[in-house]
Amino acid sequence: MEVSYLIHTRTLKCDFNPKFMVRPQEWSENNINWARKNVLLATYSIDNLIEERWLIASDQTYTIIGLVDFIGNIVEKCIFIDKSITEKFKQDEVGRRTYTFIGIVLKDAAFINISNINYDYLMKLFIKYLDNIWDNMQNETIKVEFEKKDLLQHRLEEEFPDNGFEYNQNLILYEDTYSCKLIKYYSNNLQKNTTVCTNLNSLSKIKTFRNSSNIKYILSTTNNNIRRLKNEFEQLKMNENISTGEAIVINENTSEEKHLDKEKKHLAILGMTIGGIASVVTLVLQILMTIN
């Protein structure tokens, strides 16, 4: 399995780099744009983040798997990290809490053992690449070659989470209580052109994926968001049925109107015929009376 790394973060004195602080060496501009779109989804509305947010995003070649949270929260969940080393990462020079996306990038992978991508593993990556440049006034992107890793290749068994709400074939929603199951299952069954993101609680953001044509989005969110989208979905279906029903009625009415028009024409012709016969009979009678 070939592995590289992806880190999106600000440092003490530098804001977020739009081309990432750490990324694969071989990535093109298109790869960077694809990754940025997915990472920005995972970091969306970060100040309202309640639980950590996991991301699995795959295109035809690469898969990103990683975690979004504030550094302080990640450190608190670590077991083996020396927490005194991480203290400086928790905020920038103006006192803003530091949040980050820390992840790995796989190439041509079908599955990964997600249990090895734990808080300690991710935080070690952050320290490895950010420790020596944290205080710099300027930072360039650190580009990392892919390397062979066997540690991640043990397949886990996880049942398919079959109780999601399918808004359409490219937008499937689960309650956020299933976030862990989603990450375990889809890391074990990587799917091309698919993005899995947990704890995305912005309804307006979720709605932007309703018309996705080439990417499948599998998201976990609040029960309230799912309920509201179900109501919207049912209303749309109802409106479609009403529109279809009206079209049928209009067509039926049109047919009836055509039939009535034909009947009217037949009656008009019949009336003219009867009227013509009556006129002839009257004329004949008048002639006979004149002769007599």
Closest CA to 64 of 102, 12, 17: 102
Of the ranges 93-97, 126-130, 245-249, which one carries the lowest mean pLDDT score?
245-249
Is residue 113 a part of any domain in this protein? yes
Q: What global pTM score does this model have?
A: 0.81
Q: Is residue 69 part of a domain?
A: yes
pLDDT at 220 exceeding the cut of 90: yes
- Per-residue pLDDT of 44-103, as tens digits, reads 999 888 889 999 999 999 999 999 999 999 999 999 999 999 999 999 999 999 999 999
Q: Is residue 227 part of a domain?
A: no
Please compute the mean of the pLDDT values over residues 247-266 and round it to a whole number. Answer: 54
Decide if 260 is inside a domain: no
Task: Report CA-CA distances (Å) from 237 to 231, 232, 274, 290.
Answer: 10, 9, 55, 80
Q: 176-206: per-residue pLDDT in tens?
A: 999 999 999 999 999 999 999 999 999 999 9
Q: Which domain holds residue 141?
A: 2-221
Q: Looking at the domain assignment, is residue 254 inside a domain?
A: no
Q: Is residue 274 part of a domain?
A: no
Do the bridges between strand 53-58 and strand 194-197 make them parallel or antiparallel, or are there none, so unpaired? antiparallel
pLDDT interval class at 242 (50, 70, 90): confident
- Higher pLDDT pick, 245 / 105: 105
Give the chain's mean pLDDT: 87
Helix, strand, coil share of the chain (percent; to 5): 45, 20, 35
Average pLDDT over residues 220-245: 86
Q: Does a structural domain hold residue 37?
A: yes
Number of alpha carbons in the 13 Å side-chain half-sphere of residue 21:
26
Give dist(CA 5, CA 102) in Å, integer.
8
Q: Is residue 195 assigned to a domain?
A: yes
Count: domains in the chain? 1
Spatial separation of the C-alpha atoms in residues 216 and 210, rounded to whole Å: 10
